[in-house]
Amino acid sequence: MSAIRFELLARDGRARRGRLHLPRGTVETPAFMPVGTCATVKALTPAQLGELGAEIVLANTFHLWLRPGPDVIADHGGLHRFMGWTRPILTDSGGFQVFSLAKLRRITPEGVHFASPVDGARVFLSPEKAMEIQRVLDSDIAMVFDECTPYPASEAEAARSMRLSMDWAERSKRAFEGSPNALFGIVQGGVHLALRRESARILCAMGFDGYAVGGLAVGEPASERNAVLDATVPELPDDRPRYLMGVGRPVDILDAVERGIDLFDCVLPTRNARNGHFFTRSGVVRIRNARYLRDLRPIEEGCGCYTCRHFSRAYLSHLHRSGEILGAVLGTLHNVHHYLELMREIRAAIAEGRLGEYAAGRRGALNAPADELA
């Protein structure tokens, strides 16, 4: 019996309102997963994440493999106890690091040789090793090991990469057999639509608990990303969750939801918060801008997050200019709240059959000229 069950509650066009049932909790979809690469969502405690309404977080197999190492996490009985998070966790397999650490790696059919970004040591990650580590982590959803194809890539380059990823997906599935947790396949193929369809069909024939679309948000324009989704999503099973990896901005999430995507993750809300960039319904507040030095308003009028209920833009400007840690904490609270509230509104709009109207309104506000941001 699968460790995952996807319940489809409503449709609005191609958009889906669902419920993902996992042993450690239920995830309302479409959902955004805050990124906790190294077993922590930066600047937030697990209690704060729970209060914000996060139902699932993401952690990274590659980074946890290097530090602190699977043995340390095994001593705690798995990743949940190690990081103090009782709700579901999804772990990426390390495939994105094959892309992001291109200068530190060498790809072979067997796997990838890396120079560790921690200490320069030579390490080797294969599909089998990535599954072994994820078994120790005991994440609710594991991802197959893949190669994240760079952009741009010729059709021949993307085809070679995709077929290598399909071989690794099959090896990952074999290595993961017997695990009580869920395993997702990852569609690859660059921006070449025929390759994306081929990849999706190969993975569906293998059979996975869910399906991700990888290799996007790596520099391609939104129009090409949306074309990939238009070609790929119809090839995926209707009764399984669909995950768009590494996306993205609120407008990108809206685009993908309208094309049938259920799960998202991205570092933007947390990374941007640490840089003093705060998301609002009408654009981004860059708190170091001199106009906010004496601004007594919250980041966003009407926002119900802890930060907006208690602090002014002037105070946040002071914290960021002074390098105070609290600035990162308060900004992250706001940004993660903003993303999770976006997903709550999207789910309600799908259930009520008004997603098109909702999305048009959100895009109109976000596309307003920057000098109109209050």
Q: What is the pLDDT of residues 139-152, one digit of tens each?
A: 999 999 999 999 99
Amino acid identity, residue 10? A
Residue of 129, 120, 140, 70 whose CA lies nearest to 94 = 129
What SS3 state is found at 176?
Answer: helix
Which residues is 279 bridged to in the sheet?
Answer: 284
Residue for token pair 């989704």: 229
Report DSSP letters for 89-108, one per residue.
EEEE-SHHHHHHTGGGEEE-
Give the pLDDT mean for 326-338.
Answer: 98
Contact 125, 112 (CB under 8 A): yes
What's the pLDDT tens digit per position in 179-220? Answer: 999 999 999 999 999 999 999 999 999 999 999 999 999 999
Beta strand ranges found along the chain (DSSP E): 5-12, 15-22, 25-29, 31-33, 57-60, 89-92, 105-107, 112-115, 122-125, 141-143, 182-187, 210-213, 242-244, 263-265, 277-280, 283-286
Reply yes or no on domain 5-265 having CATH 1.10.490.10.
no
Give the pLDDT mean for 79-87.
Answer: 98
CA dihedral 247, 251, 253, 255 (to 10 degrees): -110
Residue of 33, 44, 4, 46 whose CA lies nearest to 21 = 4
**Which pair of tokens denotes residue 107?**
């790809």
Contacts of 43 (CB under 8 A, 6+ apart): 270, 273, 274, 325, 328, 329, 331, 332
**Which pair of tokens denotes residue 72?**
């340390």
Amino acid identity, residue 168? W
Residue of 243, 252, 272, 262 whose CA lies nearest to 91 = 243
Catalytically active residues, by annotation: 92, 265
Q: What integer pLDDT is reported at residue 307 of this predicted model? A: 98
HEC assignment per residue over 113-125: EEECCCCCCEEEE
Determine if residue 289 is left, alpha or beta; phi over 0 gives left, psi from -120 to 50 gives alpha, anything else beta.
Answer: beta
Give the pLDDT mean for 316-337.
Answer: 98
CA distance linking residue 147 with residue 94, whole number of Å: 9
Question: Residue 371 — pLDDT band, cuts 50, 70, 90?
Answer: very low
Residue for token pair 């090793």: 129
CA distance linking residue 244 with residue 263, whole number of Å: 6
Helix (H) or strand (E) holding 206: helix 193-206
Q: What integer pLDDT is reported at residue 127 of this predicted model? A: 97
Q: What integer pLDDT is reported at residue 364 of this predicted model? A: 84
pLDDT score of 136 more than 90: yes
pLDDT score of 369 more than 90: no
Question: Residue 365 — pLDDT band, cuts 50, 70, 90?
Answer: confident
Give the pLDDT mean for 348-374.
Answer: 81
Give the pLDDT mean for 155-169.
Answer: 98
pLDDT score of 368 more than 60: no
Q: What integer pLDDT is reported at residue 214 of this predicted model? A: 97
Residue for token pair 């991700």: 212
**Which pair of tokens denotes residue 278?**
């705060």
Helix (H) or strand (E) holding 27: strand 25-29
Contact 116, 123 (CB under 8 A): yes
Contact 349, 364 (CB under 8 A): no
CA distance linking residue 124 with residue 130, whole number of Å: 10
Mean pLDDT of the chain: 96
What's the pLDDT tens digit per position in 264-280? Answer: 999 999 999 999 999 99
Q: What integer pLDDT is reported at residue 372 of this predicted model? A: 40
CA distance linking residue 363 with residue 158, whole number of Å: 32
Q: What integer pLDDT is reported at residue 366 of this predicted model? A: 76
What's the pLDDT tens digit per position in 242-256? Answer: 999 999 999 999 999
Lowest mean pLDDT among 240-244, 351-355, 366-370: 366-370
Contact 320, 288 (CB under 8 A): yes
Q: What are the residue ranges spanned by the domains of the chain?
A: 5-265, 273-366
CA distance linking residue 146 with residue 97, whole number of Å: 10
